[in-house]
Structure 1
Amino acid sequence: MLDVNIIARNIELTDWLQSYVEKKIGKMDRYLPILTSAHVELTREPVKDANRRNKAQVTLSGGRTIIRGEETAADMTAAVDQVVDVLHRQIYRYKGKRMDRRTKAQPVAEGEVPPLPPEVLEEMQEEQPSRIVRVKHFTLDPMDEEDAVTQMEMLGHDFFVFFNTNSGRINVVYRRRDGNYGLLDPEMK
C-alpha cells in the first residue's frame, strides 16, 4: 500500500474524508507497483462557480516515475473520485508507452530533433517576466529523451529538464505547437 500524505487547505480534514482519500489513493500501487508514495492536497477555494470550489491534487511517485493529477468539483469526494479517474488514465497511458518503448525503442539521432524555431525563441524572449517571482530547486534524474517526454506528459507540463544519459548533459524537452516534441541541448561557450 502507498504511503499517503494528505494536506488540507481551507477545509477540515475529517476522519471520514481522510479514510476515504486513503482508501481511494492507497490502491493506486495495484495498477503500477513501482509507486511508493502519494502526496494529496485538498483545497477549498473561494470561487463563484460551485463546480470549481473543491480541488484535489495528487502526485504519485516511485523511483524515477512521477504521475500527477488535478481535478475540481462541487464536493470534495467528487473531486477525489475524478482525480482517481485521471490517474488511472495516466497510469494506463504510462504502461502503454513503456510497452511500446520495449518493442519499438530507437535512440534519437543527433540531427533528428529539430532546432527551436526563431518565432518560438522570440516569443520566449517577449514573455519573460521582468523579475523572478519564484525559484524552484529540484534534483535531476538521469534518463533518456523518451523517459523525459513520458515524465513531462505525466506531469502535464510543456517542458521538462533532465540529465540526458545519452549525452551526459542537462537537456530540456518541450512540447511544440504542432504536437511534436523538441529537445534543447545547450553547450557552454
Structure 2
Amino acid sequence: MHVIVKGKQIDVGDALREHIEESLENGVSKYFDNAIDAQVTLSRNSHNFHTECSVHIGSGIDVTASADNADPYMSFDSALDRIEKQLRRYKRRLKSHHGKERFQAKLAFAAQSYVLAPEPEDEQPEAEAQDEWQPMIIAESSADIPDCSVGEAVMRMDLANLPAMMFHNSLTKGLNVVYRRPDGNIGWIDPKIEKTEKSA
C-alpha cells in the first residue's frame, strides 16, 4: 500500500512518518490485504494536532477519519483506530451479504464536483440586484458516481464520513441521493420522473 504523509504548516519528522506508515500498513492489512493507497495529513489547530486520514481499499471504497490530540502520535493513533473500526464493520457487512462480490459496485459515469462560494450577506446595489446572482467556483475536482444499491450507497457514505452521496440506483436505473438527517436517520431521495406525451 502506498502511503503519503503530509504536514500542513508543520514539519513531519522521520520518526513520526515511519510510525504512521508502519501503523497504517499493519492496521489496514488486518482486514484487507489489497488496499491501494492512503493519505495522512497533519496540521496544528490551537493547542492540538489534527489528523486527517483517508484509505482507498479498492472498488471505489474510501475510508476516512480524523482526530485531535495534543500529541501528534496520539492524534494519528486515534484516527487510525477509527479507520480500523470502520474497516471491521465493512468486512462484517461483506460476510453478512454472502461474499465480496456483492459490494463490487460499477462506475455509472464520471462527473465534475465543484465548490461554490456562498452568496454575499451584504446587500447588493440596486443595479446589481436586478441581475441574478451567479455563484463563483472556487474549486473543481473529478467525482465518480457509482452504480450500486441503496444499502451499498449508505455503506459508502458511512465509510467515507460524507454528509450525502449521489449514486446510480442499480435497481431503478435512476440517480438517487442518500444523506444524513439531523435526527440521526438516513434520508433517501428517489426522484420519480413522469413521462408526458406531447400533443400533436
Does the pair score TM above 0.5? yes
1:31-50 alignment, distance < 5 Å: 31-45=31-45, 47=46, 50=47
Asked whether the 8 Å contact 1:56–1:80 carries over to 2, the reply is: yes
Q: Please, which of 49, 53, 56 is the counterpart of residue 51 of structure 2?
A: 56
Give deviations 1:84-143, integer Å, cap 9, x for gaps: 11111111111222223339xxxxxxxxxxxxxxxxxxxxxxxxx534565554111222
Q: Could you say what the CA RMSD is over the residues aligned between the two structures, in angstroms?
A: 2.4
Q: Which runs of 5+ in 2 are unaligned?
A: 100-117, 120-134, 195-200
Higher strand content, 1 or 2:
2
Corresponding residue of 1:13:
12
Aligned residues: 159
Corresponding residue of 1:67:
63
Instruction: For 2:150 and 2:29, locate their aligned partners in 1 and report how far apart those are by CA, in whole Å.
Output: 25
Aligned residue identity for 1:69: A
Corresponding residue of 1:121:
none
Give deviations 1:27-76, integer Å, cap 9, x for gaps: 2133223421101111122x1xx2xx211111111222111110010011
Instruction: For 1:11 and 1:139, locate their aligned partners in 2 and report how far apart those are by CA, in whole Å.
Output: 32
Higher helix content, 1 or 2:
1
Corresponding residue of 1:181:
186
Does residue 85 in structure 1 map to residue 81 in structure 2? yes
Give the TM-score of the pair, scaled to structure 2.
Answer: 0.70
**Superposition deviation, residue 146 in structure 1:** 0.8
Corresponding residue of 1:138:
143
**Superposition deviation, residue 77 in structure 1:** 0.6
Q: SS state of the match for residue 63, structure 2?
A: strand
Q: Give percent identity, aligned residues only.
A: 23
Instruction: For 2:144 and 2:81, locate their aligned partners in 1 and report how far apart those are by CA, in whole Å.
Output: 29
Q: Which of the pair has more CA radius of gyration?
A: 2
